[in-house]
Amino acid sequence: MQHQTLLRTALFIVALVLGISTLSGVFLTLRASEEIESQAAAKRAELAKLDETLNTIERQKAYDEAAKKAKKLANEIEQKRKDEKAAAAREAAKNATPKPSSDCSSPNAHSEATRIDVIVNKKHCIQPLTFTPNTINVSCAGGGNAVVASSAVNDFKALCDAAKAAGVPLGITSSYRSYQTQVSTYSYWVAQGGQAAADRYSARPGYSEHQTGLSVDFSAGNSGLDSFTGTAQQKWIAKNAPTYGWIQRYTAANTTITGYNAESWHFRYIGRLAAANYIASGAGSLEKFWGVSGGDY
Ligand SMILES: [Zn+2]
């Protein structure tokens, strides 16, 4: 009996141990599976994140491509717009380039383009319209280069030298301009704001005094045309230019007869004797001095 009890107890203990170990096995298995599950969840989250990153990259790529396409399209539109504007400007210039009126091309005492007493204004075009003078590229002491008619070269140099010696070296903005240059300049202004506006800023081709080679626009250093007024250079040249045969062509008091607003920078060569007589006469304009018509077109 004693023996049986012991055996039963032993069996019970064995069963108990087996039970516990099975239970703990089950428990451990459960724990392991939970861990695996949580690792899998972490991996899934990681994957989702990667997926999202990939989506972002693809969206960015698609966006970049779309932006590139949009930019290309915008460039094409801009180019087309420019081409159309240029074509319109060419067309406008063709229509705006005036035929010389009978008045403009009629001979007068000052219509010989090769002479230093030639008159060129809005009533008197240069003759022939595409006239090209003999010009020389000459440097203005301390102030850059100009292209002037050979008949004006010596006194141009003398004017520049005197200005430099007086401590006010003159710069050059513009000098001889060909008929073709004036075609471009004028059509540019026509394209900007129409012919009426262009006529206020720019001479029509064949009507610019610059085509004679006898006109120079001066500057003070790098000053633009409009900032020339009031500079030491402007004050000096206004007073001293006639000594060397140059006169300020367009003055504030004579806009009606010259047809141009005042230009403190634009000087015209007429020779020393004529310039002295011009100043003494008090005429104020070449039109009045020489008795030729002027004003608007
Ligand atoms: Zn000028």
Give me the helices (H) in the chain, please.
2-96, 102-105, 153-165, 179-201, 232-240, 255-258, 272-281, 286-290
- Over residues 223-261, the pLDDT tens digits come to 777 799 999 999 999 999 999 999 999 999 999 999 999
Instruction: Please give the distance, rounded to the nearest whole angstrom, from the Cα atom of residue 283 to the centre of ligand 1.
Output: 20
Inter-residue contact 156 to 216 (CB < 8 Å): yes
pLDDT in tens, 177-203: 999 999 999 999 999 999 988 887 789
In angstroms, the CA 174 to CA 202 distance is 13
Q: Is 263 annotated in the active site? A: yes
Distance of CA 249 to the CA centre of its chain: 29
What is the distance between the terminal CA atoms of the chain, rounded to a whole angstrom? 148
What's the gap in Å between 174 CA and the centre of ligand 1?
A: 7
- Write the CA distances from 208 to 20, 112, 122, 205, integer angstroms: 116, 15, 8, 7
What is the CA(281)–ligand 1 centre distance, in A? Answer: 23
What separation in Å is there between the alpha carbon of 217 and the centre of ligand 1?
A: 5
Residues, CB-to-ion distance under 5 Å, ligand 1 = 217, 266
Integer Cα distance of 207 and 174 in angstroms: 16
**Is the pLDDT at 24 greater than 80, yes or no?**
no
**Cβ count within 10 A of residue 157:** 17
Of these residues, 37, 91, 263, 287, which one is catalytic?
Answer: 263
The pTM score is 0.68
